[in-house]
Amino acid sequence: MKDALEQATSGGGKVSRDWGAIAPAVLVFALLALGPLAAEAYGGAYLTSLLMRMMLLAIAAISLDLLIGQGGMVSFGHAAFIGLGAYVAGIMITEGAADLAMILPMAIVASTVFAVVTGAISLRTSGVYFIMITLAFGQMLFFTASSLSAYGGDDGLTLWERSTVFGFDLLSSNVTLYYLILVTLIGAYALVGALVGSRFGRVLRAAKENPTRVEALGFSVFSYRLTAYVIAGVMAGVAGVLMANQAEFVSPSTLAWQRSGELIIMVVLGGMGLRNGALLGAVALVALEETLSSITHDWRLIFGPLLVLTVLYAKTGLAGVADAWVARLWRRA
Amino acid sequence: MSSPILRLAGLHKSFGALVATDNVTLDLSPGECHALIGPNGAGKTTLIHQISGVLKPDAGRIFFAEQDVTDAAPHERAQLGMARSFQITSIIPGFTVLENVALAAQARSGSSFRFFGRAKAETALNDAAIQALTIVGLEARRDTVAGSLSHGEKRSLELAIALAMAPKALILDEPMAGMGREESARLITTLRELKSRVPILLVEHDMEAVFALADRVSVLVYGRVIASGAPEEIRADPEVRSAYLGEDAA
Ligand SMILES: Nc1ncnc2c1ncn2[C@@H]1O[C@H](COP(=O)(O)OP(=O)(O)OP(=O)(O)O)[C@@H](O)[C@H]1O
Ligand SMILES: [Mg+2]
């Protein structure tokens, strides 16, 4: 309220700066909203499903950046939460409990429990140890999924139907599912944006820079980090539920360590800790993979050096570059 | 005289064979500035780390605000009202000066498990922060990124952070270290005004500051308190003169 007043009285300057901060994301969301229309004209179902996958990975990457960019916690096991959500959805649909009203709460509970237990242990360590231990927990879940012989084991689990929503069969239409995912993505983006600016986010960000100081102020750094870990885990879990519905298939590869690595690359490529970083990183990475892999089978040979160059020459990532462009446009306007 | 806010009873701490704290018993009472002096490596910082909870003593007890805090974590002691500064400046370098201090005020004002609403727009926190910044004379630098302050300004910022915690006691580890003459003179004035409201345990090498501020002085040598008393007594104590002040008096 006070904030709004401040903005209103300080003239257009502050308001336009706030808009400038989210302008790149708004542009991406607007383009994504046109996705199904574009698919009708060109690309068909293939394009829709590619964009849905892109958005779901973006949700997971945005949640991971809350840990890496804001909290300084480099988790190498974030895909485990996507997998957890996906398997909860897959198993419940297979068992006939297909409604989102049941699946979502269950996935949230499962992600919370997994995050509390593994987070409480992992957060006793830091640096490289934290990276390794989160990787280890991720692998534990990966092997657990592979051994679920009743649910496809290594081969994965094909779903014969999608979730219903309060009894209504809405998601069998790709278009409805598409917009549900887009709305979830916008929600995830807005949520993390709010968190970062909140009291909670301020403590988290301060603890990334100087945990000893933050403890000496009276904050239990561990509790704030664990809370962030749970929030990020739940967000990725929700993305997993939607991913299972989108692919109509769940397999251990959903939570392979390569997927966790890919999420880290998205965060770094996009710009760690920047408002639009993870979003742009996810969009760019999926688009790039898609383009390069259609050109050549050995696309990783091009992709690797490209990534190194980005990290070397655009240290603040794609979002840093985007912010600079926006600032230049605004000055000219 | 009212009961002490802080009391150390028979503290011991060793690092391997090195005894850094040797049966230290001392206290801090309301209204006073108690200075802790001693040569380099005497164990002053080690003692402060035990008081604030960064290090655990091997033996002995620590009482703060009528509670045994020996086993309490640093953040729990801070919540009881213990504010400390660090010998090596400890701030949030990427935050603005104002946000560094507002974060300290935030620790004192309700829960920080609030996930919505912009912390930067909380007037109560910003006002408390500006008040603390005004006391140390840093209010003009409120929007500067803390990491780019001069060394002396960073020391002042650390004091403002401690003040914004509305503490019951201030534990300061060499607040004047590396400050220019003018800056430390200003800091002495500030601390002299403060000590009636907030008792101060002051570790300091600057003897001018110690004798200007302290109501009581304790001398730490090789981890042990070799003398404790009024500043004039300490200045006159032959053992202290030879162990420590000697180099100054000569
Ligand atoms: N973590 C540690 N491990 C081993 N030895 C330590 C440790 N911390 C301090 N010491 C040693 O304990 C002794 C006391 O150190 P301390 O830093 O407390 O001294 P000090 O009185 O604060 O000195 P100064 O005036 O230089 O700040 C020193 O000999 C130091 O080398
Ligand atoms: Mg010291």
Task: Mark whether B149 and B217 lie in a shared domain.
Answer: no
pLDDT of the residue at A9: 38
Q: Is B218 in the pocket of ligand 1 (CB under 6 A)?
A: no
Residue B78 to residue B70: CA distance in whole angstroms:
13
Residue A6 to residue A19: CA distance in whole angstroms:
15
Q: Which of residues 1-40 of B touch A (CB under 8 A)?
A: none
φ, ψ for residue B32, nearest 5 deg: -115, 160
Of B84, B92, B111, the CB nearest to A206: B92
Domain membership of residue B222 (yes or no) is yes
**If DSSP states are collapsed to H, E and C, what string results for chain A?**
CHHHHHHHHCCHHHHHHHHHHHHHHHHHHHHHHCHHHHHHHCCCHHHHHHHHHHHHHHHHHHHHHHHHHHCCCCCCCCHHHHHHHHHHHHHHHHCCCCEHHHHHHHHHHHHHHHHHHHHHHHCCCCHHHHHHHHHHHHHHHHHHHHCCHHHCHHHCEECCCCCEECCECCCCCHHHHHHHHHHHHHHHHHHHHHHHHCHHHHHHHHHHHCHHHHHHHCCCHHHHHHHHHHHHHHHHHHHHHHHHHHHCEECHHHHCHHHHHHHHHHHHHHCCCCCCHHHHHHHHHHHHHHHHHHHCCCHHHHHHHHHHHHHHHCCCHHHHHHHHHHHHHHHHC
Whether the per-residue pLDDT at A179 is higher than 70: the answer is yes
For B77, nearest residue in chain A (alpha carbons): A218
Average pLDDT, chain B: 92
Ligand 1 atom 6, closest CA: B15
Prediction ipTM score: 0.91
| Domains: count for chain A | 1
Mean pLDDT, residues A48-53: 95
Domain membership of residue B125 (yes or no) is yes
pLDDT of the residue at A1: 40
3-state secondary structure of B59: strand
Domain membership of residue A14 (yes or no) is no
Q: Position of tokens 């046109």?
A: A34
Q: Is B14 in the pocket of ligand 1 (CB under 6 A)?
A: no
Ligand 1 center–CA B167 separation, angstroms:
26
Q: Is B146 on the interface with A (CB under 8 A)?
A: no
Two structure tokens written together for B174: 């060499």
Mean pLDDT, residues A159-163: 92
What is the identity of the amino acid at A128? V
Task: Mark whether B7 and B59 lie in a shared domain.
Answer: yes
CATH code where residue A87 lies: 1.10.3470
Of B90, B118, B119, the CB nearest to A212: B90
For B90, nearest residue in chain A (alpha carbons): A213
- Model pLDDT for residues B210-237, shown as the tens digit of each residue: 999 999 999 999 999 999 999 999 888 8
Mean pLDDT, residues A238-257: 95
| Domains: count for chain B | 2
> A107-113 long-range CB contacts below 8 Å, 24 or more apart?
A107/A237, A107/A238, A107/A240, A107/A241, A108/A234, A108/A237, A108/A238, A110/A84, A110/A85, A110/A237, A111/A81, A111/A84, A111/A85, A111/A230, A111/A233, A111/A234, A111/A236, A111/A237, A111/A238, A112/A230, A112/A233, A112/A234
Domain membership of residue A72 (yes or no) is yes
Structural domain of residue A237, as residue ranges? 20-332
CATH code where residue B8 lies: 3.40.50.300
Mean pLDDT, residues A111-138: 96
pLDDT of the residue at A5: 39
Domain membership of residue B122 (yes or no) is yes
Residue B221 to residue A68: CA distance in whole angstroms:
45
Domain membership of residue B28 (yes or no) is yes
How does DSSP classify residue B143?
Answer: T
Domain membership of residue A3 (yes or no) is no
Q: Is B165 on the interface with A (CB under 8 A)?
A: yes
For residues A1 and A23, which has the higher predicted lDDT (pLDDT)?
A: A23
Task: Mark whether B33 and B62 lie in a shared domain.
Answer: yes
Of A200, A218, A227, the CB nearest to B75: A218
Residue A186 to residue A141: CA distance in whole angstroms:
29
Whether the per-residue pLDDT at A3 is higher than 60: the answer is no
Residue B42 half-sphere exposure, CB side, CA atoms within 13 Å? 20
pLDDT of the residue at B239: 81
| Chain A: closest CA distance from residue B202 (Å) | 17
Whether the per-residue pLDDT at A43 is higher than 80: the answer is no
Q: Position of tokens 């780390």?
A: B49
Q: Is B230 on the interface with A (CB under 8 A)?
A: no
Ligand 1 center–CA A148 separation, angstroms:
56
Identify the weakest region by mean pLDDT among A175-184, B137-146, B233-242.
Answer: B233-242
Q: Position of tokens 């213990």?
A: B82
Task: Mark whether B91 and B145 lie in a shared domain.
Answer: yes
Domain membership of residue A90 (yes or no) is yes
Task: Mark whether B69 and B91 lie in a shared domain.
Answer: no
Ligand 2 center–CA B140 separation, angstroms:
30
The continuous run of DSSP H or E covering B216 comes out as strand B216-221
Structural domain of residue B15, as residue ranges? 1-79+170-176+200-250
Ligand 1 center–CA B20 separation, angstroms:
7
* Residues contacting A229, CB < 8 A, separation 6+: A67, A71, A73, A75, A115, A119, A122, A123
Mutate to test the pocket of ligand 1, among B37, B40, B46 (most ligand atoms within 8 A of CB): B46
Residue B47 to residue B41: CA distance in whole angstroms:
11
> Alpha-carbon dihedral of residues A295, A298, A301, A304, nearest 10 degrees?
80
Task: Mark whether B73 and B93 lie in a shared domain.
Answer: no
Do the beta carbons of residue B171 and residue B195 sit within 8 Å? no
pLDDT of the residue at B90: 95
From residue A196, how far is each of A316, B108, B152 by CA, in Å?
18, 20, 31
Residue B113 half-sphere exposure, CB side, CA atoms within 13 Å? 10
Task: Mark whether B228 and B160 lie in a shared domain.
Answer: no
Domain membership of residue B49 (yes or no) is yes
For A192, nearest residue in chain B (alpha carbons): B115
3-state secondary structure of B123: helix
What is the identity of the amino acid at B150? S
Task: Mark whether B102 and B147 lie in a shared domain.
Answer: yes
- Comparing CA positions, the residue from A123, A122, A126 lying closest to residue A137 is A122
pLDDT of the residue at B94: 96
From residue A327, how far is each of A278, A324, B143, B195 by CA, in Å?
20, 5, 20, 48
- Comparing CA positions, the residue from B77, B35, B66, B84 lying closest to residue B225 is B35
Do the beta carbons of residue A149 and residue A86 sit within 8 Å? no
Do the beta carbons of residue A217 and residue B165 sit within 8 Å? yes
When scoring A1, A200, A202, A234 by the number of chain B Cβ atoms within 10 A, the one with the most, hence best to mutate, is: A202
Domain membership of residue B185 (yes or no) is no
Q: Is B121 on the interface with A (CB under 8 A)?
A: yes
Burial of A152 (0-12, 13-18, 19+ CB in 10 A): buried
pLDDT of the residue at B179: 86
Q: Are strands B33-37 and B216-221 parallel, antiparallel or unpaired?
A: parallel
Residue A73 to residue A237: CA distance in whole angstroms:
18
From residue A249, how far is each of A158, A161, A285 by CA, in Å?
4, 10, 22
| Chain B: closest CA distance from residue A69 (Å) | 13
pLDDT of the residue at A52: 96
A206/B95 CB distance under 8 A: yes
How does DSSP classify residue B167?
Answer: -
Neighbours of A325 (CB within 10 A): 11
Domain membership of residue B194 (yes or no) is no
Neighbours of A158 (CB within 10 A): 13
Identify the weakest region by mean pLDDT among A1-15, A27-41, B184-198, B202-216.
Answer: A1-15
With a pLDDT cut of 90, the percent of chain A lying above it is: 72
| Chain B: closest CA distance from residue A62 (Å) | 16
Ligand 2 center–CA A238 separation, angstroms:
50
Two structure tokens written together for A94: 């297979």
Altogether, the residues listed in chain B come to a count of: 250
pLDDT of the residue at B249: 42
Q: Is B197 on the interface with A (CB under 8 A)?
A: no
Whether the per-residue pLDDT at B242 is higher than 90: the answer is no
How many beta-carbon pairs below 8 A join chains A and B?
A: 97
Two structure tokens written together for A58: 């973006």
Q: Are strands B33-37 and B82-84 parallel, antiparallel or unpaired?
A: unpaired
